[in-house]
A and B are shown apart, each in its own frame.
Chain A
Amino acid sequence: MDILYAIAGISAISTLLSAVIVLMEKYINNYGECTIVINDNERIIKIQGGGSLLTSLSQNDIYIPSACGGKATCGLCKVQVLEGGGIMLPTEEPYLDKGDRELNMRLSCQVKVKGDMKIVVPRELFSIRAFKTEVENIEDLTYDIKLFRLKLLEPGAIEFKAGQYIQVESKPYGKIKESAIRAYSMSSIPTEKDHVELIVRLVPGGVCTTFLHEHLKLGDTLNITGPYGEFYIREGADTLVFIAGGSGLAPIKSMILDLILKNTDKKMIFFFGARSKKDLFYYEFFRELEEKHGNFTYYPALSHPDEGDDWVGDRGLITDVVSKYVPDGINKQAYLCGSPGMLKACIEVLKKMGFSDDTIFYDEF
């Protein structure tokens, strides 16, 4: 009898509490229909108030980049709020510097929609979508770099500029209990809208790369969002210098193939830096491209060739090889992708050659 009373008592009290909270939620947390004006009337969305700006926007297919999923720990989901954002919260303080505060930048995961708002969202974000994909192929490019070919299931097509990246959501595996979101550049070409290819190097201890390399199987589904990024071919210049290292080849491959498909008359020079022959991939592919297209030249260089590598190409650091073949920065643009160390060294060398900040473009990993 006592047990029955106990169960009944606890259930009654918890039901009552839940009911009160649900009612409160409905009446107190009900801010009615709110209008969010984006980019000065470029887009107007009407939503039910009460949720965070981040989730409210994603329900309307505007995906603000966010790696932590709304916990105010990554600081990526910054959005300029012109009206209706209220005062900055203590949770946002660590992520907003002086410049951000002057522009009224806010963390969209912390801003609650309580009324009509006016915000500014970078236009590229409008084209960002969430995709469900299926792993169609996994291929070993080197001992630690793999190519992943994903077929888009829903929606079935992606619009992007060559050089942009997507974010992959890994699933929990082994001892890793949480999913992680990481960014990878697409190596596929924009005209192939129903597939996305990624080139991923296995980072020892990396949560997402380990998942992709060791736990992802053919036929598995994978959630991605994109496209993101400002790394794409700009107007102007008649010679394009591409420099890549390791899996940084991905966006560069996409850019070069895209330009070739568009029958560009620009001169393209591609430098690829690797340690030894076993780190080199797509060698034959680019050599063939070089033979077929007179305006494309390929310079692979090995910094530490192994004994038996039998290498006749260039040796040494990629920066030395670049300055050997590129005389100056006149009428040229440089596109770089690779490790932060490589980028820093290359930018330094390029600037000495006469490239300026607005002719050097790079994507940092």
Chain B
Amino acid sequence: MEINPVAIFFASIFTSNMVLSNFLGMCSFISVSKEYKTAQGLGKAVTLVMALTTIINYVVYKYVIVPFSLEYLRFIIFIMIIAGVVQIIEMVLDRYFTDLHIKLGIFLPLITVNCAILGVSLFMVIREYNFLQSFLFGLGSGLGWWLAIEALAAIRERISSSKLPKGLEGPAITFIITGIMALAFIGFSGIFVIQ
């Protein structure tokens, strides 16, 4: 089925948001969302890495994995590529985009093990996207993840001085907020859904 790439792009930001509807990339989503500024940095880094790794994984999948029928190894191959690409991105940023490296540098190693990144590559394969669809799906998912963590961080900063019942402090309230945010995002699914 050919879905319009633009629809995929918007769907992956809102209706099929990686965190809020697929619950991927939760660990850094919960742990790095205490401060708005840091969350923003991580969001940008995830977007960059997601878009790049999706393209590279697409090429590798189409021209290496499929011809040699190594589909069952795609998990390990994708992970290796993600780890390698993150290393390279870090070096390139450090050399040529120093300002960006100062802002994103510390998050890059963290992203290597972010399951949302691997998730995007795997969804792309399962849903049989073409190149343009994959690229927009990767970019959109990244933006969606960024939107979600930035929104969560803004809420957490806002409630940081509020009094909470003892048992709800820290991660507990964060999970509840995430749940409410997910409910709110379901509202978008009336517009368009991709599966």
Contact = CB atoms under 8 A, between A and B. Distances in A.
Interface of A: 5-6, 9-10, 13-14, 17-18, 20-21, 24-25, 28-29, 86-87, 89-91, 112
B71 to A, nearest CB: 11
Given A10-B76, A10-B77, A90-B41, 19 more contacts: A5-B68, A6-B70, A6-B72, A9-B64, A10-B73, A10-B80, A13-B60, A13-B77, A13-B81, A14-B80, A17-B80, A18-B84, A24-B88, A25-B91, A28-B92, A28-B95, A90-B38, A91-B106, A112-B94
Contacts of A17: 80-81, 84
B80 A13 contact: yes
B91 A29 contact: yes
A28 to B, nearest CB: 5
A112 B77 CA distance: 31
B69 to A, nearest CB: 7
Contacts of B77: 9-10, 13
Interface string B40-77: 01000000000000000000100011001110110011
B88 A13 contact: no
Interface residues of B, number: 25
Given A24-B91, A112-B94, A9 B105 contact: no
A6 B77 CA distance: 11
B88 A20 contact: yes
- Chain A interface SS verdict (over half): helix
A25 B91 CA distance: 7
19 contacts: A5-B70, A6-B70, A6-B72, A6-B73, A9-B64, A10-B73, A10-B80, A13-B64, A17-B80, A17-B81, A21-B87, A21-B88, A24-B88, A28-B91, A29-B91, A29-B94, A86-B98, A87-B102, A91-B106
B85 to A, nearest CB: 9
A86 B102 CA distance: 9
A21 B80 CA distance: 12
Contacts of A86: 98, 102
A64 B41 CA distance: 31
Given A6-B70, A21-B87, A29-B95, A89 B105 contact: yes
Interface in B75-113: 76-77, 80-81, 84, 87-88, 91-92, 94-95, 98, 102, 105-106
A20 B86 CA distance: 12
Contacts of A112: 94
Contacts of B88: 20-21, 24
B70 A21 contact: no
B68 A9 contact: yes
A5 B69 contact: yes
A112 B87 CA distance: 16
A89 B41 CA distance: 13
Contacts of A10: 73, 76-77, 80
B106 A89 contact: yes
Contact of A9 (B70, B94, B106): B70
A28 B106 CA distance: 19
Nearest to A112: B94
A6 B74 CA distance: 11
Contacts of A20: 84, 88
Nearest to B76: A10
A209 B37 CA distance: 42
For the complex of A and B, 8 pairs with smallest distance between CB atoms: A17-B84, A9-B70, A28-B91, A28-B95, A29-B91, A24-B91, A24-B88, A21-B87
A10 B80 CA distance: 9
Contact of B106 (A5, A18, A25, A90): A90
B46 to A, nearest CB: 16
A18 B88 CA distance: 10
Contacts of A14: 80
A298 to B, nearest CB: 55
B160 to A, nearest CB: 18
Contacts of B65: 9
A185 B87 CA distance: 42
Nearest to B88: A24
Contacts of B64: 9, 13
A24 B93 CA distance: 12
Contacts of A89: 102, 105-106
Considering residues A9, A18, A112, which has the most beta carbons from chain B within 10 angstroms of its beta carbon? Answer: A9
B186 to A, nearest CB: 35
A10 to B, nearest CB: 6
Nearest to B92: A28
A10 B76 CA distance: 8
B33 to A, nearest CB: 16
Given A5-B69, A9-B77, A21 B92 contact: no
Contacts of A28: 91-92, 95
A26 to B, nearest CB: 10
